[in-house]
Structure 1
Amino acid sequence: MENKIFYQDPYIKSFTAQILTKGKDESGNNYIVLDQTAFYPTGGGQPHDVGTIENMKVINVEEVEGKIRHYLESEFDHMSVSVNGVIDWDRRFDHMQQHAGQHILSAAFENLFEYKTVGFHLGNEILTIDLETEHLSEIEVEKAEQLANEIILENRIIDAKWVTEEELSRYPLRKATKVKDNIRLVIIPDFDYNGCGGTHPKATGEVQAIKILEWEKQKKKTRVQFVCGNRVIKQLNQKNKVLIELTKLLNSPEKDMPKSVIRLLENGKNIEKELEQTLEKVLYFEARSLLEHSQEKSIVGEVFQNRTIQELQKLARIILTEDENAIVLFVSQNENMLQLVCARDSAEAISMKKVIGNALLMIKGKGGGSDSFAQGGGEALISADEMLQHLLDSI
């Protein structure tokens, strides 16, 4: 572990090292291996560091077969054997805050309710832990969050130490370690003892704060979303901007906003219902007009532009209600598509399913239905008027 400077001191922002090897991986990505590094490689739920080596961007860091590869944006052609590396400190410290915060929150849930953490993800915006419980109440969430923030305010030491497998029995581990050699424990005295290979601050106070955002059931577990440290401020800023904008749009103070939104949704539902009723009346008038102006008795054929197939179906049913002897043949051209509806009263013998099936073959279409009512659509390989004439000829 001597070459992993991030374990010796996670606060080191720059370092000097010797190049051991250069190479390309199977995908052709360029990397170099150094004799020592402060760049943390992806592992243990924590993302890798980024930064620069001799002003060339480090875009990924991975440990492969015991060697830490620093993936660069382009091939490294620096002539000197000795190089200078600089860590993106904002990203590193953010990861330190989030990872330590996860330890604290997971320990809080386990200490209070014996809910074990069985999954962890550190994302760019939020963190998640999966708790081994199907049910999580709001009261439990509040208590765990309160305890976690109390531990932060106490500014307890966060100690990292290397132990042997035999020495593990001395510590009340939150979960068993997977590794047998080079075992690293991260310890918050009298609160949390956990095997971990990530980077952490020297005291809980540097985590600043923990805020749980939401939680939901995931199969037989519960996934908790939260943020720590500077991300809490970022979340507060984002949500505050949204609230300010909503107060302007709703013309309502923040405390009355839920009532205003409920009222707005109810008004929207009422308007939607009124529009549906109005459309229904319009369709009835349209149906009667089509019946009155049909050129052949009881055969209503019409071409439309940009009508949905749902509207055509509803209009056809209204016509059949108004005239039980009617035969309805509708074609609507919607850009480069044709929509067809063919319907008749049940007393007629002609099969609408067969009529529309033959028509759909002409436009590479698909559809279906019954002998009395069928619909479908396809490419506008012929004009809507030509399609209507074909349907008329078919009956």
Structure 2
Amino acid sequence: MTEKLFYKNAYIKEFVAKGRGQRQDENGEWYVVLDATAFYPTGGGQPFDTGTLNGRKVVKVEEIDGEVRHYVEEKLANIEKVSGEIDWQRRFDHMQQHAGQHILTAAFEELFQIHTVSFHLGKEVSTIDLDQGQISEELFFEAERRANEIVLENRLIEAKWVSQSEAAQYKLRKELSVTENIRLVIIPGYDYNGCGGTHPSSTGEVGMIKILDWEKQRNKVRVHFICGDRIKTQLQQKHSILKELSQLLSASEKQLPIATEKLLDLNKSQAKVITDLQEQCIQLEAEQLMKSLKDWSGAKVIAKVFTNRSVQQLQRLAHIMIEHGQGVNVFFITENLDKIQFVFSRDKAAKINMKTLANEIFPLINGKGGGSESTVQGGGELKITGEEILSKLQNLLSSPKV
């Protein structure tokens, strides 16, 4: 069993230990086992610590059967004496978030008897899942207010190992998941909970707790929150974004919602104008295409190869062509970089099987598509040109199979 120094003192940043082994796991990754460590392994909702061993980066720490494995980027040259240094910024951030979770969870419990069923300490935001289907906004603000009261009171946070009978003497927030090696994290007069994570020595070191958002998760509510230095980081990020937006929209921060709404309304209006103009252009284009009507083996055909047009535009053009029911067959092809796409369509008075034609073209372009006997669309690789496809179609139309 590895001696866990972080339980003796969560503030240990550097330590010296003796290596007990250096091996590769089933994936070929090197890990080191020490007789003692200050590196916290993944567990209890808290991520692992990172840092260095003899100057080599520790990228992951896991506990397997009481053995704490320190995964390193490179194999250590010597493990007789190993100097370890943890990434203190990461560790203290985890301590703040974990203690903040205890405080916030206890606030929901104390004020509203709402239980927390799970906790996740994320890289940027942490979450708790509350055993409640729906919670009003006022309750979130009240829980946050109470949690920050506890932070400002700078109460002691203590951890102790107890027996099962000793644990029974405390008013625990939730039922213990173990019957031995029980570790309690206690905020006297406020919260008593079994926990194996690292925490600061007082609530004041959490700094502040801020609920960012909440969402319904099946029959639970997931609360997103941050604590301590993460609040400073997010505040600076948001301030920089708001400042940039203020400059772009020529509006103060308070006026940003109104300025944004005006901009969105203008964009909607302009988008409608653009759509109307595009429709007018397509109608004019359709009129010109109708003048290019051809006769292919007795069939009325409008055929054209475009460049860099969308399938949706080709579909709209084809629809205009066939909506008058004059027995017209439409073959539109567009070449887009290294891709080729097409729309084949006919009106009710025409008899050509467009699906049969498309199936003849797909192998030529390593393509695929779908549709019916009257309309089909598809695409593939630009292995032959659009003009070559039109020539192929014209030949096929002379076949009795089509």
Q: Distance in 2 between matches of 1:355 and 1:18?
A: 76
Q: Distance in 1 between matches of 2:212 and 2:177?
A: 30
Q: Which residue of 2 aligns with 1:25?
A: 25
User: Matches of residues 185-224 of structure 1 in structure 2 within 5 Å?
Assistant: 185-224=184-223
Say whether the 8 Å CA contact 2:4–2:37 is kept in structure 1. Answer: yes
Q: Which residue of 2 aligns with 1:154?
A: 153
Say whether the 8 Å CA contact 1:291–1:298 is kept in structure 2. Answer: no
Q: Distance in 2 between matches of 1:379 and 1:22?
A: 52
Q: 1:64 to 1:368 in 2, by over 3 A?
A: closer
Q: Kindly provide the CA deviation profile for residues 313-349 of structure 1, in whole angstroms up to 9, marking residues without a partner as x.
A: 1111112235633221212112222222222220222
Q: Distance in 1 between matches of 2:395 and 2:82?
A: 84
Q: Secondary structure at the match of 1:371?
A: coil
TM-score, normalised by the number of residues in structure 1:
0.94
Q: Distance in 2 between matches of 1:76 and 1:363?
A: 55
141-150 or 29-38: which moved more?
A: 29-38
Q: Which residue of 2 aligns with 1:168?
A: 167
Letter in 2 for 1:242: I
Any unmatched runs of 5+ in structure 1? none
Given the alignment, which residue of 340, 345, 348 partners 2:350? Answer: 348
Q: Distance in 2 between matches of 1:330 and 1:308?
A: 11
380-389 or 99-108: which moved more?
A: 380-389
Confirm or deny that 1:388 pairs with 2:390.
yes
Say whether the 8 Å CA contact 2:2–2:67 is kept in structure 1. Answer: no
Q: Which residue of 2 aligns with 1:249?
A: 248
Q: Distance in 2 between matches of 1:315 and 1:112?
A: 64
Q: Distance in 2 between matches of 1:329 and 1:53?
A: 68
Q: 1:156 to 1:303 in 2, by over 3 A?
A: same
Say whether the 8 Å CA contact 2:173–2:193 is kept in structure 1. Answer: yes
Q: Which residue of 1 aligns with 2:238?
A: 239
Letter in 2 for 1:331: I
Confirm or deny that 1:40 pairs with 2:19.
no
Q: Secondary structure at the match of 2:174?
A: coil
Q: 1:359 to 1:68 in 2, by over 3 A?
A: closer
Q: Which residue of 1 aligns with 2:400?
A: none
Q: Distance in 2 between matches of 1:329 and 1:56?
A: 65
TM-score, normalised by the number of residues in structure 2:
0.93
- Alpha-carbon offset, residue 127 of structure 1: 0.7
Q: Which residue of 1 aligns with 2:57?
A: 57
Q: 1:373 to 1:52 in 2, by over 3 A?
A: closer
Say whether the 8 Å CA contact 1:61–1:70 is kept in structure 2. Answer: yes
Say whether the 8 Å CA contact 1:331–1:340 is kept in structure 2. Answer: yes
Q: Kindly provide the CA deviation profile for residues 172-208 of structure 1, in whole angstroms up to 9, marking residues without a partner as x.
A: 1111111111100001112111100011111100101
Q: Which residue of 2 aligns with 1:360?
A: 362
Given the alignment, which residue of 338, 341, 346 partners 1:339? Answer: 341
Say whether the 8 Å CA contact 1:301–1:392 is kept in structure 2. Answer: no
Say whether the 8 Å CA contact 1:156–1:189 is kept in structure 2. Answer: yes
Q: Secondary structure at the match of 2:214?
A: strand
Q: Distance in 1 between matches of 2:171 and 2:202?
A: 20
Q: Distance in 2 between matches of 1:2 and 1:335?
A: 61
Q: Which residue of 2 aligns with 1:373?
A: 375
Say whether the 8 Å CA contact 1:215–1:222 is kept in structure 2. Answer: yes
Q: Secondary structure at the match of 1:314?
A: helix
- Alpha-carbon offset, residue 17 of structure 1: 2.3
Q: Secondary structure at the match of 1:32?
A: strand
Q: Kindly provide the CA deviation profile for residues 214-254 of structure 1, in whole angstroms up to 9, marking residues without a partner as x.
A: 11111221111111011110010111111101111111111
Q: Secondary structure at the match of 1:33?
A: strand
Q: Which residue of 2 aligns with 1:305?
A: 307
Q: Distance in 1 between matches of 2:354 and 2:81?
A: 82
Say whether the 8 Å CA contact 1:353–1:370 is kept in structure 2. Answer: yes
Q: Distance in 2 between matches of 1:187 and 1:195?
A: 9
Q: Kindly provide the CA deviation profile for residues 132-181 of structure 1, in whole angstroms up to 9, marking residues without a partner as x.
A: 11212211111111111000001111111111111222111111111111
Say whether the 8 Å CA contact 1:338–1:377 is kept in structure 2. Answer: yes
Q: Which residue of 1 aligns with 2:15?
A: 15
- Alpha-carbon offset, residue 392 of structure 1: 2.6
126-135 or 339-348: which moved more?
A: 339-348
Q: Secondary structure at the match of 1:69?
A: strand
- Alpha-carbon offset, residue 28 of structure 1: 2.5
Q: Kindly provide the CA deviation profile for residues 267-317 of structure 1, in whole angstroms up to 9, marking residues without a partner as x.
A: 112111111111111111111111123344942111111111111111111
Say whether the 8 Å CA contact 2:2–2:66 is kept in structure 1. Answer: no
Say whether the 8 Å CA contact 1:210–1:227 is kept in structure 2. Answer: yes
Q: Percent identity at matched positions?
A: 49
Q: 1:200 to 1:329 in 2, by over 3 A?
A: same
Q: Distance in 1 between matches of 2:392 and 2:30?
A: 65
When the two structures are aligned, how many residues end up with a matched partner? 394
291-300 or 152-161: which moved more?
A: 291-300
- Alpha-carbon offset, residue 75 of structure 1: 1.5
Q: 1:350 to 1:17 in 2, by over 3 A?
A: closer
Say whether the 8 Å CA contact 1:40–1:48 is kept in structure 2. Answer: yes
Q: Secondary structure at the match of 1:378?
A: strand
Q: 1:276 to 1:24 in 2, by over 3 A?
A: same
- Alpha-carbon offset, residue 387 of structure 1: 0.7
Q: How large is the Cα RMSD of the aligned pairs?
A: 1.9
Letter in 2 for 1:20: R
Q: Secondary structure at the match of 1:176?
A: coil
Q: Distance in 2 between matches of 1:392 and 1:346?
A: 20
